[in-house]
Amino acid sequence: MATSPDDTLVHTFRRYNDGDDTWGSMNEHIFQEDTSYKCPTYIQKTPPCQGSCPSGEDIRGWLQIVRGIEAPVGDMSMQEYAFRRSTTANPFPAMMGRVCPAPCQEGCNRNDVDDFVGINSVEQYIGDEAIKGGFTFDRPDELTGKKIAIVGAGPAGMAAAYQLRKMGHASVVFDDHDEMGGMMFYGIPNYRTPREALRHENQRILDMGDIEFRGNTRVGKDVSVEELENDYDAILWALGAKKGRGLFLGNWNDVPNCVTAVDFLEAFNKGDMKYTAANIVCVGGGDTSIDVVSVSRRIGTVDAYNERPEDSAEGRLIHDAAGTQPCDNVTLTALFAQEDMTAAEHEVHDAIREGVHLMNEVMPVEIITDENGRATGLKVIACEMDGNMPKAKEGAEATIIPADLIVSAIGQFGDLDGVEDYGNTDKNLFDADAFYQVPNKPGHFAAGDIVRPHLLTTAIGQASIAAESIHKYLNNENLRRRPKVDKHHFDMLEKLGEYSRTPDAFDEAKKEDLRGTDTLDYAVHNFDDRSEFEIVKSSELFLGHFDKVNRLLRAEDVPDNVEVLGHFKERMIGFDDTQAKDEAERCMSCGMCFECDNCVIFCPQDAVFRVSREDAPIGRYVDTDYDRCVGCHICADVCPTGYIEMGLGG
């Protein structure tokens, strides 16, 4: 198994600087205890991986399950328990584990030790094991009698249907395609999102019952918005951004063999494009542009090509693939340097290995056309960024890249044809407030790319909030301000309930002195959940506890420039049980105890002790004997996860 190549990081994990070994006052010279009377308190916080995840997954939680720290009740397997924790927020672990660009990994505090935890790799493992095991979603047996119309069967629409069904609401999902999945199906190639796995994850949502999919049905054409308003209790607009943005060059709309990446990839994913022209130029720099050039290298071209490449790239021509040969001239241009491209780093490296020619820090300035008005090349020039706009470098000479087909992958927007009165036609998107309500349209909500084109996981996170807003709307509840850290947090009380250890009901009348909770059964003693307010930083952790452990890398089936033609095997090879556990063990459990025993071992007063498993089956809670504690702070200093803070104990 390959390991992370970064062996250059050197750390001296110190809480104090040179010279901090002497005290500044006589009182501190004879220090015996903390005169502030602070003692250890146990504060659950949000880890930065979850704080960086747009869908708000309890990443720390399912990593702890895979590594074996948190165990399920009864005979449920680790794999199923991890699946259930993961899908609290996101019903597509197999897909997200493969294609999400993983902002969670960028936020991971482990980056300050050696390298981030391979969160995507473990998530793919959870998703694949769920498919193998045939795991299903729970849902309430009783329905509320409410039904929601969801327009769009992409990640936002299907995630919303899932969340609403968990709340007891039925839904009908309308889409103008014959398959569910939206951009996961029609915008991403099958070697990145395997179709059977994608179909399985969508079908698992339908299998919850009382969720209906109506394909090949366009709202605003086949069914009117007025019909939806009359027949349903609420409407969620999850249309996606299905129109691509053309290059900002004067003749773009007049040149026939200039197409958008959205049309190009949809034609391929529908099976309408089996091969393409010999000279392909794509302008972009994000993951979508990588998909365009990688597809081009895979499908290749044919000898004596005499078709119009834009016909197949826009789904107007279905042709055979007999006698294909490589497209040797596939070029991707980007405004930024390679290290600053928005595409995932490994995707860029894979494209280069597959034979794509990458031109960085260049901007398109002219489409070169022939006497028939067709593009024969794209003129580019070296550029630098002036704020958010590129400008040609002084003295730079232009280059003409030969092109039979020019593909623009510089952005997307919504298709509001037939629903113009409900969206914002100036932006070709839908307006939505913080609760994902459409302003001045009671009962209308919106989520996903139609609100703000971004990541798949962003659409899923928005859908979850929109589903909550719809639920409150249907129950005539006021919408309250969303939490500062708006995620799907681990719930200690819910976990204790799994083990029938739910604290007793609080009865104020029976308790005169409320200053202590160590002997009481109505509270988790000296514990506070700050997850909705605080993300724990690496500076709050004792990083010296963690040894350097190289990250396990998934194996990848990436062809070289010779093997790439006709290569449609899945790219990401998932972990086995051992690999998943080993990688999950690299998690530092930021903001939550993971039973390292440092506080117990290093306490000089023997004041910190473990709670018995019978009283705290989660195994994540230690207690303090405040008759022994002198407030020396050592337990907080040696806590690797930032879980212990010195506070006024009770």
d(CA 326, CA 406): 18
d(CA 402, CA 376): 6
What pLDDT is attached to residue 34? 57
**pLDDT band, very low/low/confident/very high, at 20 (cuts 50, 70, 90):** low
31-45+491-530+592-650: CATH topology is Alpha-Beta Plaits (3.30.70)
CA 507 to centroid of chain Cα atoms: 43
CATH code for the structural domain at 246-411: 3.50.50.60
**β partners of residue 154:** none
**pLDDT band, very low/low/confident/very high, at 83 (cuts 50, 70, 90):** very high
DSSP E strands in 399-519: the ranges are 399-402, 405-408, 412-413, 444-446
What pLDDT is attached to residue 1? 43
d(CA 490, CA 620): 12
Listed residue (468, 469, 432) closest to 452, CA to CA: 432
Residue pLDDT, tens place only, 402-441: 999 999 999 999 999 999 999 998 999 999 999 999 999 9
Is the pLDDT score of 2 beyond 50?
no
Is the pLDDT score of 620 beyond 70?
no
Give the H/E segment covering residue 245.
Answer: none
Which segment of 69-78, 348-357, 439-448 scores lowest on mean pLDDT? 69-78
Q: Is 20 exposed, middle or buried (0-12, 13-18, 19+ CB in 10 A)?
A: exposed
Q: Are 167 and 138 in contact (CB under 8 A)?
A: no
**β partners of residue 148:** 171, 234
Is-same-fold flag (31-45+491-530+592-650; 147-242+414-474)?
no
**pLDDT band, very low/low/confident/very high, at 631 (cuts 50, 70, 90):** confident
Total H helices, total E strands in the chain: 20, 25
What pLDDT is attached to residue 504? 80
Is the pLDDT score of 80 beyond 70?
yes
Residue pLDDT, tens place only, 475-501: 999 999 999 999 999 998 888 888 888
| Tokens linked to 92 | 């597509």
What pLDDT is attached to residue 527? 85
* 3-class secondary structure, 185: helix
For the residues of 131-154, what is the DSSP string, one character each?
HHHT------SS--S-EEEEE--S
Q: At what angle do helices 345-353 and 287-299 cross, to 10 degrees?
A: 20
Give the H/E segment covering residue 623.
Answer: strand 622-624
d(CA 148, CA 316): 35
What pLDDT is attached to residue 4? 46
What pLDDT is attached to residue 23? 56
CATH code for the structural domain at 147-242+414-474: 3.50.50.60
Spatial CB neighbours of 81, under 8 Å, sequence gap ≥ 6? 65, 70, 71, 72
- Measured CA distances, 78 to 63, 427, 439, 500 (Å): 11, 46, 44, 20
Is the pLDDT score of 193 beyond 80?
yes
The one-letter amino acid code at 544 reads: G
* 3-class secondary structure, 581: helix
**pLDDT band, very low/low/confident/very high, at 323 (cuts 50, 70, 90):** confident
d(CA 34, CA 31): 8
Is the pLDDT score of 202 beyond 60?
yes
**pLDDT band, very low/low/confident/very high, at 110 (cuts 50, 70, 90):** very high
For the residues of 302-333, what is the DSSP string, one character each?
ETT--S-HHHHHTTS-----TTEE---EEEEE
* 3-class secondary structure, 480: coil
Domain ranges of the chain: 31-45+491-530+592-650, 50-135+550-586, 147-242+414-474, 246-411
229-263 per-residue burial string, b: 16 or more CB within 10 A, e: under 16: beebbbbbbbbbbbbbbbbebeebeebbbbbbbbb
Residue pLDDT, tens place only, 123-181: 999 999 999 999 999 999 999 999 999 999 999 999 999 999 999 999 999 999 999 99
Residue pLDDT, tens place only, 397-410: 999 999 999 999 99
What pLDDT is attached to residue 318? 85
Please state, for a pLDDT cut of 70, what percent of the chain lies above it. Answer: 91
**pLDDT band, very low/low/confident/very high, at 5 (cuts 50, 70, 90):** very low
Residue in the block written with tokens 């009377």: 37
Is the pLDDT score of 24 beyond 80?
no
The one-letter amino acid code at 240 reads: G
d(CA 411, CA 284): 9
d(CA 483, CA 479): 12
d(CA 632, CA 28): 12
Is the pLDDT score of 201 beyond 60?
yes
- How high does pLDDT run on average in the chain? 91
412-413/243-244 β-pairing? antiparallel
| Tokens linked to 490 | 């681990």
395-415 per-residue burial string, b: 16 or more CB within 10 A, e: under 16: eeeeeebebbbbbbbbbbbbb
- Measured CA distances, 210 to 59, 206, 238, 473 (Å): 29, 8, 19, 20
Q: What are phi and psi of 279, to 5 degrees?
A: -115, 105
Mean pLDDT of 638-646: 94
What pLDDT is attached to residue 649? 54
Residue pLDDT, tens place only, 506-558: 777 766 666 666 667 777 777 889 999 999 999 999 999 999 999 999 999 99
| Tokens linked to 139 | 């849902």
CA 372 to centroid of chain Cα atoms: 46
